[in-house]
Amino acid sequence: MPALSTSPAAWAATTVYPLWSQVTSGGSAYLCVVSHLSGSAFDPVDWLLIGAGPFFGVGGRGTPDTTAVSMTVGSYTMVTGTKIALVTSELAVGARFKFTVGMDKTAAGVATFGVRLAYGTVGTAAGDSAVATWTSGTNTAAIDQAILEIIAQCTAIGSGTSATWACLAIYVNTQTNATGLGKISPAPGSTAGFNSTATSPFLHIDINAGTAAVMTAWGNAERIA
């Protein structure tokens, strides 16, 4: 038997799998024990479970980016460095991700700003949908910087909108809570279900700058469980 891979590919339908092939399915890792042509759905009878999920596959890592991106007023902009590419059907209950975002605001802008965790198969702010959204406290006319960390844990998987996340925001700014950038609460103001079986999905953080605000942001993302 060959050495076990640390990054096996996701299982695929109508594929010839020789003996000792390794794949991931439903967040777990499997070793092929019977050479076969796969059908339309994963059948564990031909496989040996070698790693219960969540299992780290070929996706699941963001690329840190020091480039500050200007946040658009009135619409969401993806924060560079926070996009994670996931393997199809790799998500399992308990999978956890951490997103870290740096934010910078000039004295312009005295409204609220929005932050969201987005999920979808497009990989852009315009193409993917929010699964958790935060609205800040009111900005004031002061220069400010902040660090925002968002922890997201998968609490249910399924098709349609049956999959869910539990999210926590940790926010620290250089001013007081009533000055500069408005405060972000730990719990999101709204959440939405998602389809964990989607093909090659993405996770990322998007920001909608407050009215008349001049904001930039940069970030990183990683899978931590």
As a whole number of angstroms, the distance between CA 116 and CA 76 comes to: 8
Query: Would residue 212 count as lying in a domain?
Result: yes
- In this model, does residue 59 exceed pLDDT 50? no
Distances in Å between the Cα of 174 and the Cα atoms of 66, 75, 145, 181 are 20, 25, 6, 9
- In this model, does residue 119 exceed pLDDT 80? yes
Using an 8 Å Cβ cutoff, are 163 and 104 in contact?
no
Give the pTM. 0.76
My answer on whether 108 and 33 are in the same domain is: no
Question: pLDDT per residue over 159-179, tens digit each?
Answer: 999 999 999 999 998 866 557
Band (pLDDT 50/70/90 cuts) for residue 222 is confident
My answer on whether 110 and 176 are in the same domain is: yes
My answer on whether 25 and 115 are in the same domain is: no
Band (pLDDT 50/70/90 cuts) for residue 115 is very high
Q: What is the pLDDT of residue 223?
A: 83
Number of domains in the chain: 2
Domain hosting 34: range is 9-51
Q: What is the pLDDT of residue 201?
A: 92
**Beta strands 9-10 and 22-25: pairing type?**
parallel
